[in-house]
Each structure stands twice: as structure tokens, then as C-alpha cells.
Amino acid sequence: MKTLALLSFLLVVCHDAVSRVSCDPGLTGSAVRLSPPGLSTASTTDSIDVKMLQKAQDLAHRISVIDCHSHNLFQPESEARPKQADFSMLQGAGVNGVVQFVPLNASGVKNPTDDILRDIKEIRQRIRDDGLKVSVVLNSREMATSCKSDSSVVLIGLEYFKGIFDGDIGQVRRYYDAGVREIGLVRRGGSDSLFVDQNLTGFGVALVRELNRLGIICDITHMPESAQQQVIDVSDSPVILSHTAAFGLVKSEFNATDATLRRLAARGGMIGIGFFSGQLSNSSLAESGRGVAWDKLSRAKVEDLVDQIDYLRKIVGIDAIGIGSDYGGSGRRAPEGLETIEGFPLIIYHMLKRGYTENEIEKVMGVNFIRFFERVEKKTTLK
Ligand SMILES: [Zn+2]
């Protein structure tokens, strides 16, 4: 059974390598050996370390693996948004939990609050109708317990660019009551302005305090740098950058500086490494500088993502690192081999190759998120 699973996994990870090899006239003859797409071009002559790949896959099934930022699990499939994660993929790859963001179809939203609450209802309905072994969890204890059972775990997050509060802090409680446990702060004009000219507004400060009070995770990924730092300082609870990468390695405007990363981690926050190739690979970033569309950028390598883990370990320590694919969003341009969630064991494979211990891998792949969520809940004053 295990051998079968490994074989099918090899087929999945080798698919791109096969097409790359057959399309590249420079890679012919006896020198060609298949490698998972995650292996860098510099190591195309390496063969897969099958034993280590098996170990990576076994480990993925033994530990709690959590994707801390995704839009895709319940998103309707379309040409623009192909299926990157479903429950059978999760089970095959040993992924236990996903933070699923709503609204599910941001481009079709007319009345943000109504549409968001309807989407959350629909998610719960679908779980019931399809008889899925899935728990929508509301706290870290449920999350930790369910990750260890054979059911998948969904935590609901909220991220929308056109305003979801309508200038009313009371809206946060409505989302909380519907099951939302993470909110991404994003720019919007009018009464929902959270920051102006890089500065947090009074409404922004009040919102952060309300998130703290309720025990909702505050995600600052989409804010400008100075506003990010102000939230870190204003917030009683630790905050998350759920899908980003280090500017110190790749100078993308979307990546976080060492100063922000250190400040966030010093207050108990965490960083989910995102999958967008333009934030992970300097050559993809350079293409983007030359005007190549985001969805045509060369895909990064899994090694680029693991370089981020190496770098962040030095800057913030292993306990502050997680994985946030942003599937269905920028993660549609994920590194080779990580086009779907089935590739998650490849991250473990490359971490094993670099000598990370099982304990360190367990932290990055899921445990850090659960512990971070616990730290957020400790600060709630909700009775
Ligand atoms: Zn997102």
C-alpha cells in the first residue's frame, strides 16, 4: 500500500520533470535522470533519493501539516482558478488543516457582508451534504485535536479588498459569530480606511483591538510596511504575515523586511511562507520587472522556498515559520512541484536533505501555527 502511494506520488512530482526533459534538447541521452521538479536545475543530474522521499511522505502523514493561507479548497473551479486543493489531495499528501479564506469568489461579490456570511454557510452545508470528514474548528484546542484525528480541519479566514466593515466595528462580531477566526487587513477607502499614507487610522487601531478582544488572528500581509509595524506595536496579541517571503533574499515589494520580521517575531507572531514565484525567485522577479505577466513568470523551485526557511530561521528562529500557499490567489504561480497541495511532502523532502530535524520540520509544517493561535487566544478578553 505504501509502495503504491509512493509510486503515485513520484508520478505526480515527476510529471513536470518529464515534460521538461522531453522539451529540452540540451537534456538528452544517458545523462538525463528524472528528478522531482522541486530539484534545482543545478541538480538535474541528481536522481531522486527515493528513500528520503518515502521518509518525507511518511513524516507528512505522521505530523500535523497545515496550510495557513488558501482560497482554493471550497472555491468553484474555473479556468482562471484551477483546483489546487481538495480533500482527496489533502489526504494523499498528509495535509491535515487549511485556513480557508472567504469570500470564495471575490470578483463576484456585490454585498460583501451578506456574501461572506452566505459563503460560510455554504461551506458548512457542503461539508454536510457531501458527507465530508471535515471539522470547521473555532479554537486552537479543536484544531490540535482534529489534526490528530482522521478528519480534515478547516479554519475560516476573511480577506477582502473592497471593505467588509462599513465603518462599523460591530461587524467584526458578526463574522466571529459566523466562525471567522482570522482577518486580513487590507486597504480600502471611505469609512473602512484602516491606514492612510502608510499610517494606521483611528478605525484601524479600534479594529485591531477588537480582533484582540475576540481572539481573532490578525493578518497584516497586505498592508504597507509602516502600517504593518504599527499594527505589530498596537496589537496586544501576536500577529501573522500569512503568505509572504523575506525581502532580504528576494527584493519583491511584497516581501517583508528583516526589521518587520524581527519585530513581529519578537512579539510572538509568525510568518507563513507564500508560494508566489515572483516573491521566491530572483529570476522570476526580474522577469516581472521586464513586464512579464504574473501568471507567465517562470516558476520558482521548491529549493527557493526552502532557502526562505533557512533565511528566516536565522532572522526569526524556527518557531516563527509556517507555510501559507495562497492557492487560488498568488499561489496559482507556485513553484514547480507545488502546483497543487499534493506537492507539500516535497517541502519536507528538501528540508530533510538540508539536515532539518523531524522536530523542526513538524514545527514549520503545522505545529507553529497551532501554538501561534494559542498565543492569540490567550490575549482574548471575551468571556
Ligand atoms: Zn489571500
State pLDDT tens for residues 11-61: 445 443 333 222 222 222 232 233 344 333 334 335 789 999 999 999 999
Distance 315 CA to ligand 1 centre (A): 24
pLDDT at 193: 79
Distance 41 CA to ligand 1 centre (A): 30
pTM of the model: 0.89
Tell me how many domains the chain contains: 1
Distance 276 CA to ligand 1 centre (A): 11
pLDDT 10s digits, 130-156 = 999 999 999 999 999 999 888 899 999
Residues surrounding ion ligand 1 at CB below 5 Å: 159, 329
Q: What's the rounded Cα separation, in Å, for the pair 106 and 83? A: 16
Count CB neighbours of 318 within 10 A: 17
Q: What angle do CA 368, 275, 341 make, to 5 degrees?
A: 75
Distance 270 CA to ligand 1 centre (A): 16
Distance 158 CA to ligand 1 centre (A): 8
Q: How many residues does the chain have?
A: 383
Q: What's the rounded Cα separation, in Å, for the pair 33 and 290? A: 33
Which amino acid, 280?
A: L
Residue 153 located in a structural domain:
yes
Distance 98 CA to ligand 1 centre (A): 12
Strand partners, 240: 219, 270
Distance 219 CA to ligand 1 centre (A): 10
Q: Give the residue numbers spanning the domain of 141.
A: 57-378
Q: What is the CATH number of the domain that holds 139?
A: 3.20.20.140
Distance 33 CA to ligand 1 centre (A): 37
Distance 279 CA to ligand 1 centre (A): 14
- Cis amide leading into 103 (omega within 30): yes
Strand partners, 241: 271
Residue 47 located in a structural domain:
no
Residue 286 located in a structural domain:
yes
* Residue position matching grid coordinates 523531524: 358
Distance 242 CA to ligand 1 centre (A): 8
Distance 102 CA to ligand 1 centre (A): 9
pLDDT at 151: 86
Residue 4 located in a structural domain:
no
Distance 47 CA to ligand 1 centre (A): 35
Distance 210 CA to ligand 1 centre (A): 21
Distance 99 CA to ligand 1 centre (A): 10
In this structure, are residues 133 and 150 in contact, taking their beta carbons and an 8 Å threshold? yes
Distance 112 CA to ligand 1 centre (A): 16
pLDDT at 172: 95
Distance 50 CA to ligand 1 centre (A): 34
Which amino acid, 118?
A: R
Task: Pick out the chain residues at pLDDT < 50.
Answer: 1-4, 11-12, 14-45
Residue 289 located in a structural domain:
yes
Distance 334 CA to ligand 1 centre (A): 14
Distance 190 CA to ligand 1 centre (A): 22
Residue 25 located in a structural domain:
no
Distance 326 CA to ligand 1 centre (A): 5
Distance 2 CA to ligand 1 centre (A): 34
* Residue position matching grid coordinates 528528478: 35
In this structure, are residues 308 and 316 in contact, taking their beta carbons and an 8 Å threshold? no
Distance 275 CA to ligand 1 centre (A): 11
Counts of helices then strands in the chain (DSSP H, E):
15, 11
Distance 287 CA to ligand 1 centre (A): 23
In this structure, are residues 240 and 321 in contact, taking their beta carbons and an 8 Å threshold? no
pLDDT at 371: 98
Distance 85 CA to ligand 1 centre (A): 15
3-state secondary structure of 313: helix
pLDDT at 134: 94
Residue 182 located in a structural domain:
yes
Distance 254 CA to ligand 1 centre (A): 13
Distance 48 CA to ligand 1 centre (A): 33
Q: What's the rounded Cα separation, in Å, for the pair 143 and 134? A: 11
Residue 30 located in a structural domain:
no
pLDDT at 369: 98
Distance 5 CA to ligand 1 centre (A): 31
Distance 104 CA to ligand 1 centre (A): 10
